[in-house]
């Protein structure tokens, strides 16, 4: 598994549950949960370029898909090493 910070746009429309809301475009295009790391109020996200940063945890395959998608910028990623119990 990998943890990454990804720059994404903020969109309004149906989210993964079908409810209309403001949410990261990344969550619509790729099967990931996004956590806002900017802590920026939605009202303060400028309409141009309409970008903010989210943190995700995903598989290597999904991270590769996101990195290949020109709609997104991965600012950093790291492999999550599970410690032995």
Helix (H) or strand (E) holding 2: strand 2-8
Q: Domain for residue 84, yes or no?
A: no
Upper half-sphere CA count for residue 15 (Cβ side, 13 Å) = 14
Q: Quote the number of domains for the chain.
A: 1
Instruction: Compute φ and ψ for 17, nearest 5 degrees.
Output: -90, -5
Q: Domain for residue 70, yes or no?
A: yes
The closest alpha carbon to 3, from 85, 82, 79, belongs to 79
Helix (H) or strand (E) holding 27: helix 25-29
- What pLDDT shows up at residue 64? 97
Dump pLDDT digits (tens) for 18-76. Answer: 888 788 999 989 989 999 898 777 677 666 778 889 999 999 999 999 999 999 999 99
- What pLDDT shows up at residue 85? 65
Q: Domain for residue 35, yes or no?
A: yes
Q: Domain for residue 85, yes or no?
A: no
């Amino acid at each position: 598994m990998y943890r990454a910070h990804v720059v994404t746009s903020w969109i309004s429309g149906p989210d993964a549950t079908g409810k209309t809301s403001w949410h990261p475009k990344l969550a619509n295009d790729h099967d990931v949960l996004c956590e806002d790391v900017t802590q920026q109020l939605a009202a303060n996200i400028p309409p141009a370029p309409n970008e903010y940063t989210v943190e995700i945890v995903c598989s290597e395959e999904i991270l590769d898909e996101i990195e290949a998608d020109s709609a997104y910028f991965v600012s950093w990623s790291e492999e999550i090493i599970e410690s032995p119990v």
